[in-house]
Structure 1
Amino acid sequence: MKTVTVVGLGKIGLPLAAVVANSGHFNVIGADKNEKVIETVNRGISHIQNEPGLDQLLYEAWKAGTFRATVDTTKAVKQSDVVIVIVPVLVNEQGTINYEFIDSAVEDIGKGIRKGTLVIFETTLPAGDTRNRFGKRIAELSGLTLGTDFHLGYSPERVYSNRIIQDLSNYPKVVSGDNEKSLELVISFYKKALNCDIMPVSNLETAEFTKVAESVYRDVNIALANELAVYADSLGVNIKEVIQAANSQPFSHLHFPGVGVGGHCIPVYPYFFINNGLSDGLVPLSREINDKMAKYAVDQVEEYFSTLENKNILILGLSFRENVKETTKSSTLLLANELKKRGSTVYVDDPLYTAEEIAAFQVKPFSIENREKIDSIILQAFHDQYRDFKFELFPNCQFVLDGRNALNQKKIESLGMKYRGIGVQ
């Protein structure tokens, strides 16, 4: 069997590696710089939580001997016929792109690549990076010629946390290559590795653009929903009713408003366009609108109390979204900063995190002993555990801001608390 190295064993890389290792066609080497990750993976144990099916797939591959892991990326690449890169590209607070981790991975690949190897990038990238930044660098380091001595492909990851393994088989795999031969190799690999529908596109840049466009589409449409929700508030109109009614028309697909947009994808990837020529128009405006929703939410709380000085505010959910343990670009961080600016004490509850993990974000971990202190509650991430949240245990809570329009308004109001949603009064 051919050998595949998956560089980056994070929340997407590890499930991908486990699926490929169970395909019956490949031996897989997982490469990662985190020694603790390597240690657990080499015992058949996943460090990624809440990913259905992953524990079993990883254990089966480990037991069958088709999956092992190493911190030595260069050595792994030397033994491989296919290399898949799923190392993150980050965006700094100023919106600039940080290539630190993926550049380091490419250096290791370039030092180890052998003639005939296929390298596929799955990391979301600005259009042109696969060919001009990474393919070129691998060629420089290895002395091999791109397109003849080694082959280059791009196939964006298109999965969603908590259902990654399911998505790998259900979503069409967009694939591309630096030339026709490379594309043939990429198609052949994914047909065997994932057994999913394949969607070839004409070149690397089209595939890169496609993934960013998917995230931009969602960001822009969420921004529209947020803008409409704020306007609905000013008119006393319930945006939930508006969306339900409007979307009964088959050409209307209004998204849902909320207290903000978080995660690795939607608030990050638009900057791949913004910083590469698309600095005006809907894309940057949408980023601005969505990032301002946390301030808008805090404004609603402050309007009710007149002042937030010395108020104790509880935020439900540290995670950026429901049922996922991930804080990247979480709206809770924006909410907490706004509340602190106005003199509030911020408590945060999240069943997925320990008190120590929550305290690391310079907020107070909530415990039930503090319940009588709480003046207001803000829902940010609607975890399953909050579906039956006991608001009645908070005798001094006066105001509930439902940042996801997900709570039972009648129940909250029956307790004598004021309820506000985003575009819902």
Structure 2
Amino acid sequence: MSEKLIKILTEKGPIKKIGVIGMGYVGIPAAALFADAPCFDHVLGFQRASSSSGYKIDMLNKGESPLKGEEPGLEGLLQNVVKAGKFTCTSDFSRISELDAVTLAIQTPFEDPKSLLPDFTALIEGIQNVGKNLRKGMLVVLESTITPGTTVGMAREILEKESGLVAGEDFALAHAPERVMVGRLLQNIREHDRIVGGIDDVCTRRAAELYTPVLTKGKIIPMTATAAEVTKTAENTFRDLQIAAVNQLALYCEAMGINVYDVRAGIASLKGEGITRAILYPGAGVGGHCLTKDTYHLERGVTLGIEPLDYPENAESIYVLARRVNDFMPKHMFNLTVKALERVGKKPKGIKIAMLGWAFLNDSDDARNPPSETYRDMVLQAGCEINVQDPHVVHYPGIDIHANIDKVLTGADVVVIFTGHKQYFELTPEQIKQKMGKKQPVIIDGRNVVDPDKFINAGFVYKGIGRGDKNSHSLK
């Protein structure tokens, strides 16, 4: 425990001015909630004025959210804090020097999962910007999901090098990982418990002071910085493992000719004292920024550990294997497409496909690492033509995405559903078949959106994830 830092923080007093670096799905709602808290005076949101994302600055300063899709309460909250003069977005990183606390919510993708090399380029730049403008008594919090050991290692080293100050003596340093899901960002920040891990107890307490005012139902769970890093990577790894388990079960059910949703309901029905059967839903693949790479952060943390790993010899990590299963699901969707076409005597080459859904998450515009992209690449390589429709995703690099569903359905041989947007549940077989104009149209359902019997009775060739009871149906 540093008596020097305690003295500095006591003289500085409570946290009043906050900075949030990274105006994305994590940074925007966090900044808005900090700004809305009466105990804080002002919040600065930091966003690079780049050609790809600089537009966010003007939007946010007008109280407009650049996040699309359904995000309850966010735009109204932004309007309120901007109108009250408590939130400003800027590209001037020198203003970090004005602050009492700064958080970093910057994406941390993986450059090469096989060699466990993360791409920390953007995060390092953000930490350097903080270090150059760091002042005594400031609190620096990494919210990004990072390899265990990053806070006490790389982040600390960069901050100390750039500032000439010492973490734990001149300034506080902590990791407090975000735990949000698109579609309920504000609710998650307020109601989820907040993991807070400082590099020492003084830093942990200062970070807890920052987050406590924005919590409603949630509580602070203090721990070390490295334990906090493991907590975040492990909770996403476990969810990925759960998804892989039900995806593998779905593949088994297809092979055995049964319905995975019957099996799932049966498993989930077992309840009682000490009994938990947390079974999720199968689907066309896992996307997003977190689950697709957090396993690799956890695995890399082990390689950087202080003790050698004691594990079954030559055994593959069950977490990495789970990643492989989930990465396989778009390929399985492709395999289902090929098999469905074979049933009507067709091959992929020259086939026109209508893809419904590009975002990885239903009713959102979050299209980071979507499994739909893997499928699209495969069908294009097979010689198909594919048109993509999504009601929420407007732009994606190199992809034309249509808002008009009729446009992509017209003349299509195959409809493939990759996202469970609520609009797709309202589609009828008659409506789709009329637009397709095919005697035996094909539909591939990756999210259990359509009623198989209705589509089969309407003359469709149907294939669905885990629907072994329907995938070999008689042709009408």
Residue identity in the other structure for 1:335: Y
Preserved contact between residue 301 and residue 401 of structure 1 (Cα < 8 Å): yes
Report SS of the residue matched to 2:174.
strand
Alpha-carbon shift at residue 398 of structure 1 (Å): 2.1
Q: Is residue 115–residue 144 contact of structure 1 (8 Å, CA) maintained in 2?
A: yes
Query: How far does the alpha carbon of each residue in 1:64-111 deviate from its partner, in whole angstroms, 9 at most, with x for none?
Result: 1111121112x2210011111111111236563111111111111001
Query: Which segment is superposed worse, 97-106 or 190-199?
Result: 190-199
Unaligned runs of 5+ in 2: 1-14, 304-314, 471-476
Secondary structure of residue in 1 paired with 2:223 = coil
The alpha carbon displacement at 1:262 in A equals 0.5
Alpha-carbon deviations, 1:139-166, whole Å to 9, x = none? Answer: 1111111101000111110011111101
- Distance, in Å, in 1 between the alignment partners of 2:408 and 2:393 is 18
Q: What does 1:275-290 align with in structure 2 at a 5 Å threshold?
A: 275-277=300-302, 280-290=316-326
2:28 paired residue number: 14
Give the Å deviation of 1:334. Answer: 0.9
Change (3 A) 1:406 1:390: closer
Distance in 2, matches of 1:363 and 1:412, equals 26
Farther-moved stretch of structure 1 (46-55 vs 330-339): 46-55
Alignment of 1:10-409 (within 5 A): 10-26=24-40, 27-34=42-49, 35-49=54-68, 50-73=70-93, 75-92=94-111, 96-250=117-271, 251-277=276-302, 280-306=316-342, 307-354=347-394, 357=395, 360-361=398-399, 368-369=406-407, 371-392=409-430, 393=434, 394-396=436-438, 398-409=441-452
Residues 80, 57 of structure 1: CA spacing in aligned structure 2 closer, same or farther, 3 A cutoff?
A: same
Does the aligned pair in 1 maintain the 2:44–2:89 contact within 8 Å? yes
Deviation per residue, 1:361-384 (Å, 9 max, x gap): 268887635644211111100111
- Structure 2 CA distance, aligned partners of 1:345 and 1:364? 15
Quote the Cα distance in structure 1 between the aligned partners of 2:101 and 2:410: 58
Unaligned stretches of 5+ residues in structure 1 = none
Cα distance, 1:225–1:366 mapped onto 2, change above 3 Å: same
Does the 8 Å CA contact 1:358/1:364 hold for their aligned counterparts?
no
SS in structure 1 of the partner of residue 79 of structure 2: helix
Runs of 4+ in 1 over 6 A off after TM superposition: 362-366
Matched length: 422
- C-alpha distance in structure 2 between counterparts of 1:28 and 1:286, whole Å: 40
The whole-number CA distance in structure 2 between the counterparts of 1:76 and 1:119 is 14
Percent of aligned pairs sharing the same letter: 27
Q: What's the CA shift string for 1:11-70, capped at 9, x where partnerless?
A: 210111001101011111111113322222222222223321111111111111111121
- Who is 2:10 aligned against? none
Q: TM-score, normalised by structure 2?
A: 0.84
Say whether residues 1:419 and 2:434 are aligned partners: no
Q: 1:253 to 1:194 in 2, by over 3 A?
A: closer
Is this contact kept in 2: 1:315–1:346, CA < 8 A? yes
SS of aligned partner of 1:119:
strand
Q: Find the residue that maps to 2:24 and give its secondary structure.
A: coil
